[in-house]
Homo-oligomer: A and B are copies of this chain.
Amino acid sequence: MSKEITARSQDYAQWYNDLVLKGGLADYSPVRGCMVIKPYGFSLWENMRDVLDRMFKETGHQNAYFPLLIPKSFFSKEASHVDGFAKECAVVTHYRLKNDPDGKGVVVDPEAKLEEELIIRPTSETIIWNTYKDWIQSYRDLPLLINQWANVLRWEMRTRLFLRTAEFLWQEGHTAHATSEEAVEETRRMLDVYADFVENYMAVPVIKGVKTPSERFAGAVDTYCIEALMSDGKALQAGTSHFLGQNFAKAFDVQFSNKENKLDYVWATSWGVSTRLVGALVMAHSDDDGLILPPRISPLQVVIVPIYKGNDQKSAIDGKVEVIVQELKAAGIRVKYDDSDNARPGWKFAEYEMKGVPVRIAIGARDLENNVAEVARRDTKEKSSLSLDGIAGNIVKLLEEIQQHLYDKALAFRKEHITEVDTWETFEKTLDEKGGFVSAHWDGTAETEAAIKERTKATIRCIPLNNPQEAGTCILTGKPSKERVLFARAY
Q: In the docked arrangement, what's the CA distance between A35 and B46, Å? A: 25
Instruction: Say how far A488's CB is from chain B's closest CB, in angstroms.
Output: 30
Of the candidates B42, B134, B150, B167, the one whose C-beta lies within 8 Å of that of A27 is: B134
Instruction: Say how far A262's CB is from chain B's closest CB, in angstroms.
Output: 19
Q: Is the beta-carbon distance between B92 and A63 smaller than 8 angstroms?
A: no
Of the candidates B34, B62, B65, B71, the one whose C-beta lies within 8 Å of that of A67 is: B34
Q: In the docked arrangement, what's the CA distance between A92 and B94, Å? A: 7
Q: Provided the pairs A42-B64, A140-B342 are in contact, do residues A96 and B36 lie with their beta carbons within 8 angstroms?
A: no
Q: Is the beta-carbon distance between B75 and A106 smaller than 8 angstroms?
A: yes
Q: Is the beta-carbon distance between A42 and B65 smaller than 8 angstroms?
A: yes
Q: Mark A84-117, 1 if CB is under 8 A from B, else 0.
A: 0011111111111110000011101000000001
Of the candidates B29, B37, B67, the one whose C-beta lies within 8 Å of that of A167 is: B67
Q: Is the beta-carbon distance between B39 and A64 smaller than 8 angstroms?
A: yes
Q: Mark A387-414, 1 if CB is under 8 A from B, else 0.
A: 0000000000000000000000000000
Instruction: Say how far A248's CB is from chain B's closest CB, in angstroms.
Output: 15
Q: Is the beta-carbon distance between B68 and A120 smaller than 8 angstroms?
A: yes
What B residues does A76 contact at CB under 8 A?
Answer: 104-106
Check: A38 CB closer than 8 A to any chain B CB: yes
Check: A82 CB closer than 8 A to any chain B CB: yes
Q: In the docked arrangement, what's the CA distance between A82 and B127, Å? A: 32
Instruction: Say how far A92's CB is from chain B's closest CB, in angstroms.
Output: 5
Q: Is the beta-carbon distance between A92 and B120 smaller than 8 angstroms?
A: yes
Q: In the docked arrangement, what's the CA distance between A35 and B69, Å? A: 11
Instruction: Say how far A269's CB is from chain B's closest CB, in angstroms.
Output: 17
A residues 439-489 near B (Cβ < 8 Å) are none
Q: Provided the pairs A29-B127, A36-B131 are in contact, do residues A91 and B67 lie with their beta carbons within 8 angstroms?
A: no
What B residues does A347 contact at CB under 8 A?
Answer: none
What B residues does A35 contact at CB under 8 A?
Answer: 67
Of the candidates B29, B30, B90, the one whose C-beta lies within 8 Å of that of A95 is: B90
Q: Is the beta-carbon distance between B63 and A42 smaller than 8 angstroms?
A: yes
What B residues does A93 contact at CB under 8 A?
Answer: 91-94, 108
Q: Is the beta-carbon distance between B106 and A72 smaller than 8 angstroms?
A: yes
Q: In the docked arrangement, what's the CA distance between A131 and B91, Å? A: 25
What B residues does A104 contact at CB under 8 A?
Answer: 76
Q: In the docked arrangement, what's the CA distance between A75 and B98, Å? A: 11
Q: Provided the pairs A36-B131, A86-B106 are in contact, do residues A67 and B169 lie with their beta carbons within 8 angstroms?
A: no
Q: In the docked arrangement, what's the CA distance between A155 and B113, Å? A: 12
Check: A321 CB closer than 8 A to any chain B CB: no
Q: Is the beta-carbon distance between A68 and B151 smaller than 8 angstroms?
A: yes
Q: Is the beta-carbon distance between A88 and B96 smaller than 8 angstroms?
A: yes
Check: A31 CB closer than 8 A to any chain B CB: yes
Q: In the docked arrangement, what's the CA distance between A117 and B30, Å? A: 13
Instruction: Say how far A215's CB is from chain B's closest CB, in angstroms.
Output: 22
Q: In the docked arrangement, what's the CA distance between A322 and B50, Å? A: 28
Q: Is the beta-carbon distance between B38 and A71 smaller than 8 angstroms?
A: no
Check: A70 CB closer than 8 A to any chain B CB: yes
Q: Provided the pairs A68-B167, A75-B106 are in contact, do residues A63 and B87 lie with their beta carbons within 8 angstroms?
A: no
What B residues does A65 contact at CB under 8 A?
Answer: 36-37, 42, 169
Check: A66 CB closer than 8 A to any chain B CB: yes
A residues 416-454 near B (Cβ < 8 Å) are none
Q: Is the beta-carbon distance between B91 and A87 smaller than 8 angstroms?
A: no
What B residues does A73 contact at CB under 8 A?
Answer: 105
Q: In the docked arrangement, what's the CA distance between A68 and B146, Å? A: 24
Check: A130 CB closer than 8 A to any chain B CB: yes
Check: A307 CB closer than 8 A to any chain B CB: no
What B residues does A94 contact at CB under 8 A?
Answer: 90-91, 93
Q: In the docked arrangement, what's the CA distance between A127 and B127, Å? A: 29
Check: A118 CB closer than 8 A to any chain B CB: yes
What B residues does A137 contact at CB under 8 A?
Answer: none
Q: Mark A139-152, 1 if CB is under 8 A from B, else 0.
A: 01000001000110
Q: A30-B127, A76-B106, A90-B118 are in contact. List 15 more A-B contacts (CB 8 A).
A: A27-B134, A31-B127, A36-B64, A36-B66, A38-B64, A42-B62, A69-B167, A72-B97, A72-B105, A75-B106, A87-B97, A88-B95, A89-B96, A91-B95, A120-B120
Q: List 12 A-B contacts (CB under 8 A).
A: A30-B130, A39-B62, A39-B63, A39-B146, A67-B167, A68-B167, A69-B153, A72-B106, A86-B97, A87-B98, A88-B96, A90-B94
